[in-house]
Amino acid sequence: MAPRSQRVEVDGRHLTVSNLAKPLYPNGFTKGQVIDYYARIAPVMVPHLAGRCLTLKRFPEGTDRAGFFEKRCPSHRPDWVPVAPGPSDRRGGIDYCRIEEPAALVWAANLAAIELHAPMAGHEHQEMPRAVVFDLDPGPGTDIATCCTVAGRVREVLATVGLDAWCKTSGSKGLQVYVPLNAPAPTHEATAGFAKAVGTVLERQTPAEVTTTMAKSERPGRIFVDWSQNAFHKTTVAPYSLRARAEPTVSTPVTWDEVEACATGEALLRFDAGEVLDRVERLGDLFGSVLTLQQHLPAADG
């Protein structure tokens, strides 16, 4: 019988992992495979997590059971997993986990933290988002292909004001468009306002296909451009995070060529853990520029 726990070493850090044979997905994908995925994806994923106050979504009983969000970093964390006060709806703030190295990512995976959600800002400058995100959520009667069509239109609008953007799948149903900023000045209010303004342009052009309205009654047959994900207290699933679905799908960076192929029905943007590891080996980090490219939002009128 396999041992319930074992000691492992990750870059000189020693930690105990447990229940490796326990299935966490209905298709039999185990906790050990979750940990292995995060250990192997760490070189490209950790830079997208570093310096941020992370929210863990844990599924200790598997993805077919209710999980829970954990903002406050567990008190039993190793002393090499740092924390930082972050955005909170409660007085006094919350010390969030920071994942600054591969061993910390493996530690989180051992907690069955299948999903990792990150804010747009780093912990040192929480009022200064490093990117704008357009979270494209398909309503009933639409799908990822429709999201890709709308993403292409978002890209066209951004190009008119000299901004470049990168895409990733949500790992669930939708698609997310990121506009890197990485420069002083923008606030969460400014990025949210900009995202809503772009969404409103698309909504006016094709009101039957796009909505920026929060009400779910407005979403059937439309793509909801969720501009509110840019708010100070919001987080978005991190690049390369697993998702708690029926199978171990991943929030995966994709090329614009792939987005265009999806929009025309030539490709389906759905990737599981093994496919993402293969993609990274072949293509590297397609989202790397989101961390480095400096851009500026256009000045608001008036």
What count of other Cβ atoms lies within 10 Å of the Cβ of residue 32? 20
In whole angstroms, give the CA distance from residue 211 to residue 196: 10
Residue 300 maps to a domain = no
Q: Are 149 and 26 in a shared domain?
A: no
Please tell me the total number of residues recorded for the chain in this structure: 302
Are 188 and 200 within 8 A, CB to CB? no
Q: Are 105 and 180 in a shared domain?
A: no
Nearest alpha carbon to residue 211 among 191, 227, 232: 227
Domain end point (choices 76, 100, 123): 123
Q: Are 101 and 211 in a shared domain?
A: no
For the cut 90, the answer to whether the pLDDT of residue 301 exceeds it is no
Encode pLDDT of 38-92 as tens digits. Answer: 999 999 999 999 999 999 999 999 999 999 999 999 999 999 999 999 887 655 5
Q: Are 55 and 172 in a shared domain?
A: no
Q: Are 98 and 165 in a shared domain?
A: no
Q: What is the CATH number of the domain that holds 33?
A: 3.90.920.10
Q: Are 11 and 98 in a shared domain?
A: yes
**What is the pLDDT confidence band of residue 226, given thresholds at 50, 70 and 90?**
very high
Residue 156 maps to a domain = yes
Residue 108 maps to a domain = yes
Nearest alpha carbon to residue 272 among 252, 249, 254, 253: 249
Two structure tokens written together for 171 = 């790992």
Domain end point (choices 85, 105, 123): 123
Residue 102 maps to a domain = yes
Residue 301 maps to a domain = no
pLDDT at 91: 58
Domain span including residue 161: 131-292
pTM for the model: 0.95
pLDDT at 302: 42
Q: How many domains does the chain have?
A: 2
Encode pLDDT of 165-194 as tens digits. Answer: 999 999 999 999 999 999 887 899 999 999
For the cut 80, the answer to whether the pLDDT of residue 3 exceeds it is no
Amino acid at 101: E
